[in-house]
Copies of this chain bind each other. A is one copy, B any other.
């Protein structure tokens, strides 16, 4: 028996690895307008003429009588020294909503830091469901020390309950009154921020402010240059990029496999284009482009076969294809699509056929193999499939996401303390080190058909085919197909130059001059 080592190992159990402990001790940094993390400056944001344009102003004003706004709030320029007296005695609740994304814990950390010792932060357990049930815990600085810079939402848990019925809203109001809440911070994606807008309106008459913080690894919540990307995207895509880079290296080493790699992203292909920009695989499908070109499943199979043939003719019997999770939902086949997936039909919990349950990467591999056997029997083809998803949602945040989220928390704290409601805290202008603002959730709403009903929902941002990221990406496709231009960008580092890199698509879309942040 090796008692010394065994003792040491046992003490490291429960998220006490060297890496986790080291991350916990890294001091947080804040944007200049907040002062310093040790001595946070409370500075309410104000409206300074900037607005979010919406075509639905008339309808929204009617639906959100008390809270509709188009005004962007910003810190007062030049006011970086003076600190407004911070409100005291406020009681704020915070909750995670929807799937996890890296950095969520830092939002809570920043929020508690801004509230300070004279206000109270309550954590809602298990997401919106916990808000309905009133399962709250008080969050103290000790817990923050434990979770800061750590991945996951496990401090509080999360769920996907949507709060929108009268009855649910009434339940929330009862809880707000019972717990004497002055504000609620909702950390969630597009649906959760839609909920935040609805709750803000419903709770306006009891002066409970509701503030949203935009989280989604899919990256589909974006607001002009106020919020070029949501938090969690950078960490997830850097994890997937490491894996894809390793697989591309393996392909070039083993020289006999084609890898079919599906990446998370149902509606938007931001994750896929970012990973492609990071790693340069021979072939990548972007749902938005597939839709725009009206491609069918057969076109996808053909395009992949063409790629295999092209590389074979250049001496490379190997390669990789990236495809977004939502690819089949963007095809032009219509109902005929099912003919291709007879053996692979997925069902949802109600027994309905679900395109999203199809293992697209496996079906594509099979269909490519069959077609190649007919058209090019001389070409050796062996496929391997991968789905990258869950491993990217709960990892320790990158330097970027850690900084981004702590500051989003401080910002959310500022907004609830100043009583702003129906607003989402945002940070943009990363090429200048980051600039905070708050945008009105109502002005971001659009109308969508859901289960036969028209609903107001937060507008999802898809890959814009005229954006800087897409046009650059498209211009590189031929070279990446015809050579081994791949990168293997490696694991996330926390020291050195490679630790501080923005997502490539953010830099390209925003016209930044480099990937460096700070």
Contacts and interface: CB of A to CB of B under 8 A. Distances in A.
B6 A472 contact: yes
Question: Most B CB atoms within 10 A — which of A13, A153, A277, A513?
Answer: A13
A179 interface: no
A5 B507 contact: yes
Given A152-B249, A472-B6, A386 B396 contact: no
Contact size range, A = 35 or more
B5 A391 contact: no
A246 B101 CA distance: 11
Question: Most B CB atoms within 10 A — which of A6, A19, A243, A396?
Answer: A19
A250 interface: yes
Contact of A488 (B20, B239, B514): B20
Contacts of A15: 486-488
Interface in A493-514: 493-498, 501, 504, 507-508, 511-514
Interface stretch (A33-41, A116-124, A251-259): A251-259
Given A13-B487, A19-B498, A511-B2, A151 B246 contact: yes
A514 B11 CA distance: 13
A490 B152 contact: no
Contact of A19 (B480, B483, B493): B493
A158 interface: yes
A419 interface: no
Nearest to A497: B18
B5 A515 contact: yes
A17 B490 contact: yes
Interface string A215-253: 000000000000000000000000100110111011011
Interface in A86-115: 96, 99-100
Interface of A: 1-2, 4-6, 8-10, 12-20, 22-23, 96, 99-100, 126, 150-154, 157-159, 239, 242-243, 245-247, 249-250, 252-256, 259, 277-278, 280, 384, 386, 390-396, 468, 471-472, 476, 479-480, 483-498, 501, 504, 507-508, 511-515
Given A151-B249, A250-B393, 15 more contacts: A2-B513, A17-B488, A17-B490, A20-B488, A96-B253, A100-B250, A152-B250, A152-B253, A153-B253, A154-B253, A158-B254, A246-B394, A250-B394, A253-B394, A396-B490
